Structure 1
Amino acid sequence: MVTTVLVDPQSEAVVLPAELVALVARQAVNEGPTRAAWPGLTFYRFEQRVGTHWDKVSSVSLGMVVQGRKRVRAGSINYFYDPFHYLVMKRELRFQAEILQAAPERPFLSFVLQLQPELVNEVYDEMNRLVPDILHIEPTPPTPDVYVMALDQPLVGAVQRFLLALESEPERGVLASTYLREIAYRLLRSEQRVWLLESAARENHGNVITAAIAFMKQEMHHPLSVRDLA
């Protein structure tokens, strides 16, 4: 059975700034994906609807559509997102995608930003140290592979500052990482912070195991200690 996840339309109160739409449009220069200079950031432009196709993310990723509408299907669940909602996906997730709204005069525009687990955990630790009460976490049921949330102004502002900083080499070097931390902070303030923390923890654990296996293969002809693998 296919399930569709919809977010309360009453929450669709945030209107994306025209400058944010323009920022994405300037970066999404090609039909289809355009990889940015910033690691893990990809912009998308489609000038016509695109049927269902397979795609994959290699890390926990934030997806935002600034123009148009998109459907993502993970397993048997359909998720829809648009300029009123953002989407976050788990690491190594293979999913189906469909571009629902796009035209030459009004192309579909979006981006996907990978969030490294080290960054998420680092921001969480800092938040927990400074203001532990805001991160009080209630027990939750098993989390899905994807979640969709209504956009809020603080997250939109952080994203806009981050993308704007990427257009200037000095700001990209000095400020972009700060705004990326703010994006992680805003996501960790959301109702889905448990989901994000669990996903980051699993990815971090997987990265450690992968690194250990690679090290063992490289050093297989030499004796190894536990300290070597730690």
Structure 2
Amino acid sequence: MGQIHENNQEIVKILARILPKEKNLETLIPGVTVFRIDKSFVRVPLTYHPRIILMAQGKKRVFIGEDTYTYDPSQYLVLSVPIPLECDAVAEVGKPILGFGIDVDPAEVAEILLLTEETKYSGENLPKGIYGASVTEEISDASLRLIQTLNSKADSLVLGKSIVREIIYRVLKGENGEALQALAHRNRKFFQISQILSRIHKEYDQNLDIGELAISCGMSVSTFHVSFKAVTNSSPLQYIKTVRLQKARSLMITEGTNAITAAERVGYESPSQFSREYKRYFGLSPAKDQTQQLLSVET
């Protein structure tokens, strides 16, 4: 653990210099984003997309159903499918949360697996689409080398992608790696559900019929429900509703869209139903939430 701590200290120095204030920053390395969060925050609804998230400083937790996943300098988080969840964060005074994320590409996962001689995923069980695992010295070492490339444009462009590939390989071979390996098994239920999740995020504003979604991936409605919940810890209907509500909130806060227009744009036919479900999910009416969020940005 000593080496991992030393590596984290170096990563913190580099990220603190690159990110002098709170920000999410896309780097020159495709699929790699670095982030800084200055203050702790209480549980808020978010949607995480397929990625590996590693922390150099601070702690975050995600809540999905009755499950809680903590990620910090000793634990990383892996999401192999997009999942709406709740998240909170703990930052010490004078020590911002610093870390980075690597997008997960199923094609790259499959390519890496083809080059390895063993795979932990048998295809018999349906793993969850999210898990946490312990940071190993190999992952820590690769993480430091990846962040060091950000000191140089040439290093980022020439070396970054190969180090990303190394980290994905280490994660695939590591603790609970079968959940990520399942992405590469296109004939398995996990991959079919992941494809449906991607479709929901693209077509959330359309009429998504559960029966049609089940048929499109070759499952009965009951099998589809069971498989969907096993991967996302949510029913298909609740997942769709959550995605729509989060998209609507984003429109209201980032674009200033009013509640009625936002409801229509994400697929709601009834503004009153939208208001009820919004308040139930976020704890505030759309109008109050929008006002509160805009005031917090101004101050």
Write out aligned runs for 1:180-199 (5 A): 180-199=164-183
Deviating beyond 4 angstroms after TM superposition, the runs of 4 or more aligned structure 1 residues are 136-140
Write out aligned runs for 1:80-95 (5 A): 80-95=70-85
Q: Is the 8 A contact 1:12 1:150 kept in 2?
A: no
What's the C-alpha RMSD, in Å, of the aligned pairs?
Answer: 2.9
1:100 to 85, 90, 93: 90
* AA aligned opposite 2:26: R
Q: Is the 8 A contact 1:16 1:83 kept in 2?
A: no
Supply the distance in 1 between the matched residues of 2:145 and 2:3 (Cα, whole angstroms): 20
Supply the distance in 1 between the matched residues of 2:64 and 2:165 (Cα, whole angstroms): 27
Could you state the TM-score of these two structures normalised by the residue count of structure 2?
0.57
Q: Is the 8 A contact 1:66 1:82 kept in 2?
A: yes
Matched residue, 1:28: 19
Supply the distance in 1 between the matched residues of 2:95 and 2:16 (Cα, whole angstroms): 11
Report the structure, 1 or 2, having the larger helix content. Answer: 2
2:63 to 73, 81, 84: 73
Matched residue, 2:135: 151
Write out aligned runs for 1:162-173 (5 A): 162-173=146-157
- Pair 136,181 (structure 1): closer, same or farther in 2 beyond 3 Å: same
Matched residue, 2:28: 37
Higher relative contact order (CA 8 A, sep 6+): 1
1:135 to partner: Cα distance: 3.1
* AA aligned opposite 2:25: T
1:40 to partner: Cα distance: 2.8
Deviations 1:10-69 (A, max 9, x none): x898425221222222333332433333333322222221111122233x2111121111
Secondary structure of 2:21 counterpart: coil
Secondary structure of 2:155 counterpart: helix
Supply the distance in 1 between the matched residues of 2:55 and 2:67 (Cα, whole angstroms): 19
Matched residue, 2:290: none
| 1:120 matched to 2:104 | no
- Pair 149,82 (structure 1): closer, same or farther in 2 beyond 3 Å: same
Which segment drifts farther, 44-53 or 30-39?
A: 30-39
- The count of residues paired between Structure 1 and Structure 2 equals 194
Report the structure, 1 or 2, having the larger strand content. Answer: 1
Deviations 1:162-218 (A, max 9, x none): 2222331222222111111111111121132221011354289739x96xx9xxxxx
Matched residue, 1:54: 45
